[in-house]
Structure 1
Amino acid sequence: MANNSQSNKYLIFLELLFYAALPYAIWKFGREPFGDYAAMLLSTVPGIIYTVYRFAKDRQFNVTGLFILGSMLIGTTVDLLSGSAEQMIWNNVYLGLFYTFLYVILFIIKKPFPLYVAIDFAYLQGYARKDSKALFFQKGIFEWFQLIQIVFIIRGLVMAGITVFLLQKYGIDSYGDMLIYKRIASWLFSGIVMGMFFYINVIVQNYTNRVQEKNDEKLPEPEVMAK
């Protein structure tokens, strides 16, 4: 438990460093020599580097990995094509809302993205994707993945709301505050999602135990060979 606690604190420190502290410092001290747009572009570099590092270290594949790499590529492309600091912020709002819209579609067609993330994670633990998918779509388990999908949707709307509110009220000067407030909000939502995933794990364990007990009850008594 102590090692897990230290590991979590270390990850929080790294996220704060690469997603908030370094970008904020680059933005604050880079505006004058480089200009708003260049400073904002440079402020995204630490987050990109850290994301690539985590991706390589955690060995995430398939749906999860493709989403991480795809969203990072799209986000970087949008940033480079924005042309100005303010337009870059607005484009990221639009992009975030686009992802949120996709989450809504996936929720409606009952293909929650968190479920496929869980399948990827289970695969890394040695479980076949086909078996995990069949298990996670069981009644009583699937509904929880839909709830996590709703949290994803709410998160997207909240992140966009924070950005739009600060940008309209304080202008481009509020970019540093956006980094801090959005990181705090991200931690809050991540905590909720992680808690829900842990609860799903308990449900899955109880379900598999019940199935195993039923299978054991159906097993025939072993035949005793005559001596």
Structure 2
Amino acid sequence: MKKNSTLWDLVFYVAIPLVIWHMRDKIGLTDYMAMVISAGIGIVYGLYMFSKQKKLNVFGTFILADLIITMLITVFSGSAMNLLWNNVYYTYVLAGVYFVSILIKKPLMLYMALDLFAIDPERRARILPIFHTKKVKLLFVVFTLSIVMKEILSALLQGYLITQYGVNAYDKGILLKQGMNIAFMVITFILVMLIMKEAGKHMSEEEREKFFGS
């Protein structure tokens, strides 16, 4: 299921936008309309995936808010260049949200992970104190901070592409973002393994199997 989801993500967030962008002249689309249609398809797909979750937890709420804001940015930007720059600014805002969550000592990745690992209230009540132990929480802070750095780097690179290529930075930005996501998967894997290992120290063997087993 996870592999299928990743494949469809690539189709809707990378392949389809690139095809529409490179075919825009042949099918009579302006640069801006090609971007709007591509974003619209991605938003509809994102809403469909969200509807399958049927949960307004921290993770679900964050995803839904991101989809709504992306939709508003797309609709109200008014031009291709404005849309590109607004996406850069929004990336900085996302980095800021993650960073503020660290400052207020509620790293977002901790609560998103809690939603994924602890579906029912009983699990949540058991695992929340473990996630708040000193070493585990520190790892979640590092995890959240790494996302802050990724978002800032992404915004900087996308801004550079726009200044160099103008609206033609659109397809390059898609490939850049996807490449960074793939590279970040390695960091994510390492941090998740460290978190699971540290959290597992506070659990019995039966609990480790229950929470982290397949």
Q: TM-score range by the shorter chain?
A: 0.7 to 0.9
Distance 1:112 1:31, change over 3 A: farther
Query: Partner of 1:169 in structure 2?
Result: 164
* Residue 177 of structure 2 corresponds to residue 196 of structure 1: no
Number of aligned residues: 205
Query: Partner of 1:63 in structure 2?
Result: 58
Query: Partner of 1:179 in structure 2?
Result: 174
Q: Percent identical across equivalent pairs?
A: 28
Residue of structure 2 aligned with 1:23, choices 17, 39, 53: 17
User: Per-residue displacement from partner, 1:189-227 (whole Å, max 9, x unpaired)?
Assistant: 1332233123211211122239x9xxxxxxxxxxxxxxx
Residue of structure 1 aligned with 2:76, choices 81, 100, 103: 81
| Counterparts of 1:130 and 1:30, CA distance in 2 | 52
Query: Partner of 1:10 in structure 2?
Result: 4
Contact 1:104 1:153 in 2 (8 A): yes
| 1:10 CA drift (Å) | 3.3
| Counterparts of 1:50 and 1:195, CA distance in 2 | 29
| 1:66 CA drift (Å) | 0.6
CA RMSD of aligned residues (A): 2.0
TM-score where L is the length of structure 1:
0.82
Residue of structure 2 aligned with 1:157, choices 152, 158, 163: 152
| 1:50 CA drift (Å) | 2.6
| Counterparts of 2:103 and 2:56, CA distance in 1 | 25
| 1:83 CA drift (Å) | 0.5
| Counterparts of 1:13 and 1:165, CA distance in 2 | 29
Query: Partner of 2:134 in structure 1?
Result: 139
Contact 2:40 2:71 in 1 (8 A): no
Distance 1:175 1:153, change over 3 A: same
Distance 1:42 1:160, change over 3 A: same
Query: Partner of 2:113 in structure 1?
Result: 118
User: Segments of 4+ in structure 1 off by > 4 A?
Assistant: none
Q: Secondary structure at the match of 2:45?
A: helix
Amino acid at match of 1:10: N
| 1:176 CA drift (Å) | 1.0
| Counterparts of 2:103 and 2:177, CA distance in 1 | 27
Amino acid at match of 1:12: T
| 1:31 CA drift (Å) | 4.5
Amino acid at match of 1:25: V
User: Per-residue displacement from partner, 1:44-72 (whole Å, max 9, x unpaired)?
Assistant: 12322332232233445311111100111
| 1:131 CA drift (Å) | 2.9
Structure 1: where are the runs of 5+ without partners? 1-6, 213-227
| Counterparts of 1:192 and 1:57, CA distance in 2 | 27
